[in-house]
Amino acid sequence: MYSAIKNVIFVIMLVFGSITYNTLQAQDSTLIEEVTEDVVAISETVTEGHHAPALTEIINEQDPIAAIMHHISDANEFHIWGDIALPLPVIIRKSDGSWSTGLSNQYHEAKDGLILSHGRIVDAQTHSAKELIDLSITKNVAMMLLSLLLLSIIFFSIKSAYQKRGVHSAPKGLQSILEPIISFIIEDIVKPNLGKDYEKYIPYIMSAFFFILINNLLGLVPFFPASANLTGNIAFTLTMAVLTFIVTNINGNKNYWSHIFLMPGIPKILLLIITPLEIIGMFTKPFALMIRLFANMTAGHIIILSLVSLIFILGENGASIGGAIGGTSIAVPFILFMNALELLVAFLQAYIFTLLSAIFIGMAIEEHHEGAH
């Protein structure tokens, strides 16, 4: 029995390694085009300006760094399989004030002075996007729209279920899965931290939790139409943190602002030190929210993809079957463990973001109570 189990596990690892190898090998031509400028710069530095044959061979055959960076980065097209990619709408304002629009597949060759390079639209001459204002529907934006659609379907179906069966009836199906989560957010996050006016903030807290959660989960799916590393994008986490910052400070009461600018019970001379620190603290709180979510989700993706790359590194890109099998036997258990851990992190980071948001808002709306002597 034990021997049979070992054989099954070995076969699973071998199949996993073979499928992964064939998948990335099919993407080989795409990866060659998507080697980042940083990787090329490092390669040139190491070889002192000369492309050593061995180094060139490694880059041309398979570059795990390029594959990893491509997976976690945003793009103007949505890669599906091999050379197949879903073109996305491009809306770009160029440095001269003119606009360029179309689908991303139209920019494989230069169009309007722009070209698709490493998955992003850049200036065809400088290969830089610094002077461009990109308002395109990128891969991450498409993922946001997909998550918005899924959330709308989920919650409108739950709403209709409550309308049909009543609020006090036993939940069924999807309703029975989400109702404990919703109750947990209200009872353990919102009420304890926001006090008597908690109902006013439920829509934001609930929306933030499920929006982050569903994008965390979609990012763990390794194939189209999911797989975009949206919550590992600093722009996404910055926007979520700014929303918490706005909600917190718009609803801040007199007590909140007085503790920032005129801390009660503090000598006036010390206010010269305390007040700037409190003002800085207003911004460090959302900054911590932004970095925590961004770093945790990005790190998880990089670790998993690095473990997958072990199959090719140890197998010398398929030249050694024994090395590939050895790499698979090492990588697969860790990949399965990291995927399970990332599933936990997906829920944990959504929880932490909403918990801290509720705490920050609660601190801003808390009423002043005179302490008894």
Per-residue model confidence (pLDDT) at position 79 = 81
End-to-end CA distance of the chain: 73
* Residue whose entry in the numeric block shows the structure tokens 């596990």: 9
β-sheet bridge partners, residue 92: 100, 134
Could you tell me the two tokens for 290? 């932004």
Per-residue pLDDT tens digits of the chain, which is 373 residues long:
433 333 333 333 333 333 333 333 333 333 334 434 443 443 444 344 443 333 334 334 456 777 777 778 888 888 888 778 889 999 999 988 899 999 999 998 888 889 998 788 988 888 888 888 989 999 999 999 999 999 999 989 888 888 887 767 777 778 888 889 999 999 999 999 998 889 999 999 999 999 999 999 998 888 887 888 899 899 999 999 999 999 999 999 888 898 888 888 888 888 888 899 999 999 999 999 999 999 999 988 888 888 887 777 776 655 556 666 766 777 788 888 888 899 999 999 999 999 999 999 999 998 765 554 4
Say how far apart CA 90 and CA 75 lie, in whole Å. 11
* Residue whose entry in the numeric block shows the structure tokens 């929303």: 243
Per-residue model confidence (pLDDT) at position 227 = 81
Per-residue model confidence (pLDDT) at position 62 = 55
Per-residue model confidence (pLDDT) at position 370 = 53
Helix (H) or strand (E) holding 117, with range, is: strand 114-117
β-sheet bridge partners, residue 122: 115
Helices 202-220 + 139-165 axis angle, to 10: 120
Q: Do 20 and 332 contact (CB within 8 A), yes or no? A: no
Which ranges in 94-224 belong to alpha helices (H)?
A: 139-165, 174-184, 191-194, 202-220
**Taken in order 5, 11, 14, 20, is the CA torsion positive or negative?**
negative
Please choose, from the candidates 188, 208, 71, 83, the residue with its C-alpha nearest in 3D space to the C-alpha of residue 147. Answer: 208
Which ranges in the chain belong to alpha helices (H)?
A: 2-26, 28-33, 37-46, 53-61, 64-72, 139-165, 174-184, 191-194, 202-220, 234-250, 254-261, 268-314, 321-365
Per-residue model confidence (pLDDT) at position 204 = 94
Q: Which of 214-217's residues contact partners 24+ apart within 8 Å by CB, and which partners?
A: 214/147, 214/150, 214/151, 215/143, 215/144, 215/147, 216/297, 216/345, 216/346, 216/347, 216/349, 216/350, 217/343, 217/346
Per-residue model confidence (pLDDT) at position 54 = 39
Determine the distance from the C-alpha atom of residue 283 to the mean position of all C-alpha atoms in its chain, rounded to a whole number. 22
Please choose, from the candidates 247, 226, 195, the residue with its C-alpha nearest in 3D space to the C-alpha of residue 354. Answer: 247
Could you tell me the two tokens for 212? 């982050």
